[in-house]
Homo-oligomer: A and B are copies of this chain.
Amino acid sequence: MKSILSVALPQQAYNVVIAPQVRTQVGAWLSDRQQPLLKPGQKVLLVSNPVIFKHYGEQAIASLTQAGFQVSHCILPAGERYKTLKSVQKLYDAALANRLERGSAMVALGGGVIGDMTGFAAATWLRGIAVVQMPTSLLAMVDASIGGKTGVNHPQGKNLIGAFHQPRLVLIDPQVLKTLPAREFRAGMAEVIKYGVIWDVDLFEQLEAAERLDQLRHISADLLQSILTRSCQAKAEVVAEDEKEGGLRAILNYGHTLGHAVESLTGYRSVNHGEAVAIGMVAAGQIAAEMGWWTEAECDRQLALIQKTGLPTHIPAELSINDILETLKTDKKVKDGQVRFVLPTRIGEAKVTNQVEASVIRQVSEQLQAP
């Protein structure tokens, strides 16, 4: 099984390769094509976290070294709370120590945190060098690794600091998901469900047809390949139409408006990104039903799918609804002071609106709070 998708951007197209074992072939992918993505002998800085590096670091380094690149590596601590400028500074130090030049590359081997920080460091080192994304979490595979959004958190808000910087190549190896903790797997499933709701009704129905979705071991290799391919295809199509989020791309924020607020107010700890998005999708779905954008039945189908995946569907009891509403106002998606929501119009389609009244947001949030 192998899928090769193209993210067809006007300035530079790049491939997303989804295939078992591709983690051991990064060197060949960068060098062995008719048009090599990186010049022979170039310097490559592999960036990872301790756990991922232990599992897959040596294989990647061996592959890159065998292809003739000069490989160094930099290990950053795992976890969203380390997605800071301070960690990026360590990457700058490593780039300097290893004398990365304009023709050099960084390779991000890890989850979304590693991918976002490595992408940002690559975007801003010497005003931009190449980056290759090798996502190892489901969340990073279907979301963060494609589309060129990079960045770090500000102490007071997620992803406030960043840059658009498209990767040169994305390599996705489904086999690495075997070492992903179950909770992280479910977190990624939130984004998969998102693509079903906003873009791909067939994907949604495939997920509905599956017996279990709460753990990887219940999902066949075929279904997994399909989930990854359809999700990445959805992301690639949206990004190709709207690279810089002028319009369409904003629909990818489905579930993220309220999700970011929940994530931020829990200090990026007790609720992870995917869980927050799941809660945000439930909220957006109910707002959409409240406003007559889609039916109660569609809203229930989404809720059932999220529940089947084992993701949370309630706002944590300890959060204040007032704080959530206040936090929404500092969200990046605020435009002219109006909070923007993505709402589904039917399964497989969604639109952006800034017409959701504060009273509706409050009412739905209160209903959704865990008792």
Q: Could you list which residues of chain A lie within 8 angstroms of chain B, going by C-beta atoms?
A: 39, 41, 85, 89, 92, 95-96, 99, 101-103, 120, 123-128, 149, 151, 154, 156-157, 160-164, 244, 329-330, 332, 334-337
| Cα-based distance from A157 to B101 in the complex (angstroms) | 13
**What's the least CB distance linking A241 to chain B, in Å?**
17
Q: Quick check: B89 and A330 within 8 Å, CB to CB?
A: no
**A335 interface neighbour in B101, B128, B149, B156, Cβ under 8 Å:** B101
Q: Quick check: B128 and A164 within 8 Å, CB to CB?
A: yes
**What's the least CB distance linking A176 to chain B, in Å?**
28
Interface centre among A101, A156, A164 (most CB of B within 10 A): A101
* Inter-chain contacts of A95 with B (CB < 8 A): 160
Which 3 A/B pairs are nearest by Cβ-Cβ distance? Answer: A127-B162, A126-B332, A124-B161
* Inter-chain contacts of A335 with B (CB < 8 A): 101-103
* Inter-chain contacts of A102 with B (CB < 8 A): 332, 335
Can you sample 8 A-B contacts with CB below 8 Å?
Answer: A39-B336, A95-B160, A96-B330, A101-B335, A123-B163, A124-B151, A126-B332, A127-B151
Q: Quick check: A92 and B154 within 8 Å, CB to CB?
A: yes
Copies of this protein, total: 2
Q: Quick check: B162 and A124 within 8 Å, CB to CB?
A: yes
**What's the least CB distance linking A293 to chain B, in Å?**
24
**What's the least CB distance linking A192 to chain B, in Å?**
24
| Cα-based distance from A164 to B125 in the complex (angstroms) | 11
| Cα-based distance from A103 to B334 in the complex (angstroms) | 10
Q: Quick check: B332 and A163 within 8 Å, CB to CB?
A: no
Q: Quick check: A160 and B126 within 8 Å, CB to CB?
A: yes
* Inter-chain contacts of A128 with B (CB < 8 A): 163-164, 244
| Cα-based distance from A161 to B91 in the complex (angstroms) | 11
- Tell me the nearest residue of chain B to A86, going by C-beta: B85
Q: Quick check: B85 and A89 within 8 Å, CB to CB?
A: yes
**A330 interface neighbour in B92, B99, B330, Cβ under 8 Å:** B99
* Inter-chain contacts of A244 with B (CB < 8 A): 128
| Cα-based distance from A157 to B95 in the complex (angstroms) | 12
* Inter-chain contacts of A156 with B (CB < 8 A): 96
Q: Quick check: B124 and A163 within 8 Å, CB to CB?
A: yes
Q: Quick check: A334 and B101 within 8 Å, CB to CB?
A: yes
**Contact A127:B149 (CB < 8 A) given known A85-B85, A92-B160, A96-B154:** yes
| Cα-based distance from A160 to B89 in the complex (angstroms) | 12
| Cα-based distance from A102 to B333 in the complex (angstroms) | 8
| Cα-based distance from A160 to B102 in the complex (angstroms) | 11
| Cα-based distance from A38 to B149 in the complex (angstroms) | 24
* Inter-chain contacts of A337 with B (CB < 8 A): 101
- Tell me the nearest residue of chain B to A42, going by C-beta: B336
